[in-house]
Structure 1
Amino acid sequence: MDWNNHLEMEKENSFRSSEATILVNESGVISFANQQVYENFGYLNHELIGEKLLNLMPGANLQVSGEGEIIHQFGIHRDGHTFSLFFRVNAFSLEKEVYYLVVFHKVKDQSRLNQQQTYPINELVDLMYALDESTIVAFTDEKGKIQSINKKFCEVSQYSAAELIGKDHRIINSGYHSKEFMQNLWRTISTGSVWRGEIKNRAKDGTYYWVDTTIVPFLNEIGSPYKYLAIRKEITEYKRVVEELKKSVNKLVDFQFALDASSIVAITDQRGTIKFVNDQFCRISEFSKEELIGKNHRIINSGFHSREFFNDLWRTISSGKVWKGEIKNKTKGGTYYWVDTTIVPFLDEHNKPYQYLAIRYEVTKRKIAEEEIQKMTGKIIDVQEDERKRLSRELHDGIGQNLYSHLITINRLQTEMSHPLLDQMRDEATEIIEELRHLSWELRPSVLDDLGLFPAIRSYLVRFSEHHHIKIHFDCYLNCRLNTNKEITIYRVIQEALTNIRKYAQTEEATVTIREIDDEIRVVIEDEGKGFDLEKVTRGVGLFSMEERAKAAGGNLSLHSVEKKGTKVFLEIPL
């Protein structure tokens, strides 16, 4: 093929093409240009033959342009203004000369192409595919009529392409947004600016969906939009989550307000240094926030609690567990107050506390009332024990002595005469005396006052075993006598516990152990009888009485029972 024939073929192809085509030699001189080239650059036919391509496209380097690349370039019109274009180059050789066929498209939208960029065509195809698969895309004309859509638009809106093309976006209008919202959108894009925002639309079946929307105007030579590209990303689930979060945040704000108004709140770091306190904390402690922040809670330590108390507190929360209890604190002015306290550790990804939230409620009045009740209970118990003691002595020394005198008289009569009635009177008097002695013992054994706790309990257990046929194993390890109040408390708890064993345990054996351990007396009364479920059994007067006696003596009583395995009563009293 000779050059003239090849050139004629290129001319024929270019006349049939809608693309602007220029043929240049290796030196960059134009050998041919079709009609679109003359129209785009403003020249008359044949005026460009023999001209340099660089006069039309400054900076165009055909030698480094790769096959299949689309290159952005600025062209210079004959009247001097510049415009954007994209071109691709195909190189070929004829009679040992290299020629370049340059095919380009003038860009109508001149507003956003202000720098040269090079795009491999296969990369553009991949980008378009990714966009089409993941994003809702629509083109509209300058009046907003839909010209083209992708399948994602149809999928989300549930309309077919045929139902959408030629319509405007009112077809998916949800009615959610105001007229001002839409007017602002159109004012923005009609002036050539990009609009971004979130829009609530309605699908064909009436359901609603949200889209994060970007609308890009495409501008002509005079800067006016001739079409719009709308790129949307469905965010319905995101909006739902946001709404839920807003509701949760509002709830948290309400909770925080309620908590702040009713509770004493403090936050500390993992070392116990105060980072935050609320107004209630300042009000009750009489310290300002500036005086508290950066300090630890020793600033309000009353000295009431032992070191072991706080060691146990720190062991609990530093292991990630919640601590609950009552603490006696001291104000700046030196007065004392009680707080019902809950300390919650906040854990990091390694389950280690990084801060602590302490929520407190003032219970000073309740604690004062409890102390008064405890004192009153102690006084009632003392009065009760004094009355028991008085009745016991009256039974023993009064009625008991009179009955014993009558028994002596009956015995003297029996020495003088024999009669069945005298035998009956003697037996009845003996039985009544024995009952009185037992009743007197139950009320208040004199041996408890005279000889102490150990002989009194041992004597009581012997009588209990003989009378009720329950074998009692007794171990006592006391190094000294206790004060009267503590001895009576231990005696009464053992007495009440054994009474319950006799009534309910259905057993023939029980164990009573008294030990002096460190600075306290520990008493355990246990059996292997019927047992019971603590959650199902109503607390009786006997258990209440034991607990109140323990509190009055400054001690603590606890109960442990398992069905068919027996019951244990624990009493701990400080020395």
Structure 2
Amino acid sequence: MPEKLLHRKQESYRILIESVKDYAIIILDPQGHVISWNQGAEQIKGYTADEIIGKHFSVFYTDKEKAEGEPERNLREALKLGRFEDEGLRVRKDGSQFWANVVFSSLIDEEGQLIGFGKLTRDLTNRKKAESEIEQLTTHLEERLQKSETEVFDYKQALDEAAIVAITNQKGIITHVNENFCRISKYSKEELLGQDHRIINSGYHSKAFIRELWVTIANGKIWRGELKNKAKDGSYYWVDTTIVPFLNEQRKPYQYLAIRSDITKRKAVEEELHRANEELENKVKERTYELTQALEREKELNEMKSRFVSLASHEFRTPLSTILSSMALVEHYTEPEQAAKRMKHIDRIKSSVKNLTNILDDFLSLEKLEHGSVDVRSTEFDLKEFLTDVTDEIDGLLKRKCQILHLHIEGDTSLCQDKKILRNVLLNLLSNAIKYSPEEKQIWVRAEVKGKEVLLTVRDEGIGIPAEAQPHLFSKFYRAGNAVNIQGTGLGLHIVKRYMELMNGNISFESKDGKGTTFILQFPKTITS
């Protein structure tokens, strides 16, 4: 689904870029070769996509600029600054030259690697022509001191037709606006004249930006830039602006002429390009995270397989050796009076097979838990009968080590839980209590039902758990230092903890090295499948 959404957004972005005709929007590879070309580029520069894609962007520069290395310098500046803007003469396919505003943007991936450059070109021929006329007008007006009202009127008419025009005094009070200004700002002339120029201030630009503008024109210099303004209805618009100071005899500004052109559509394209780039970056980050998680899971699985092979080679060796040696001896005990010896070795074989089965059961249980394929199935049963059955099941193990088990039950013994999971948990804890306790020791199982909760404890007089091992006890494959010489996989308690989570319960323990261990199970009396 995310891939489809990303594809639709990319397709929409491509259609948007290709449909723009007023601006040449070009994508370059890191070396400066053209890899994307829109209709605006074809209209401004004269090349079709088939003619230009794959060629170096230096074909748009004059021979003089190419000889001076200007194309390469522009890319270096864009890479250094992230964004580089320039104005100058550029060359069309037919060899004609035009004045252009060019913006380079470096395209960087999430790893900080350069993947190319974005290049936005605007034909400034008309604006340069207008600016040239303005400068000529300013010089002419200063020289002739408004000698000819007719000429001034003609110039004004030309500007009113071609641009958005406003005049303010040296304090920024609006003294003149043309119809184009009223149209884009949605104010009438009456609403604007006499007002501070900040009536159209959008609040978008920083104080430093505005300060730099006013310092420039207050010093009698022309200011050029892009401004985001606010219309009467609250909407915003962008204008490419040139502000020309009119100077008195002391060379001090007494009024300012602002010539603007509407670039709202161009800025919308730039913002959409930026937004699409951010969305693409976010999608790439999300996908990278998903792949990283998948790799981590794969790594964990491979580590588990490696541990299994290592553990199996170690844990299987002892029971298999016992089976082989007992089988060899059984073959020699063929006489009736040797029946007791045969049974002794047959019991050893059965015990070894059971050990192998337990090891394999641990790994199969872990695999099911890791894949989420263990389903909780609640059934109604009597806790007292259940505990009696489980303790009877391990009676043979108890007798073999001359150990005694005490069972104590309190409260309402009717449960609705997963009987199979609870049996596996209890058998694991009881087997550990027997295995890690010396002969002739005692084991206590206590069950207490209070309200909707069951508290079940298994206490032994075994070897206990060292303090340094206790924080890691439920980790996969972990075995305490005092238990490494006792057969086991290091998976049992990890599996028990996972089973308790499936039962909406938890497990804890209390233990001291050499003084036994108490495991405490807490789980709800009733669980829904």
TM range (shorter): under 0.3
Instruction: Considering fraction of residues, name the structure with more helix.
Output: 2
Q: Compare the two structures and name the one with the higher strand fraction.
A: 1
Q: Return the TM-score normalized by structure 2.
A: 0.28
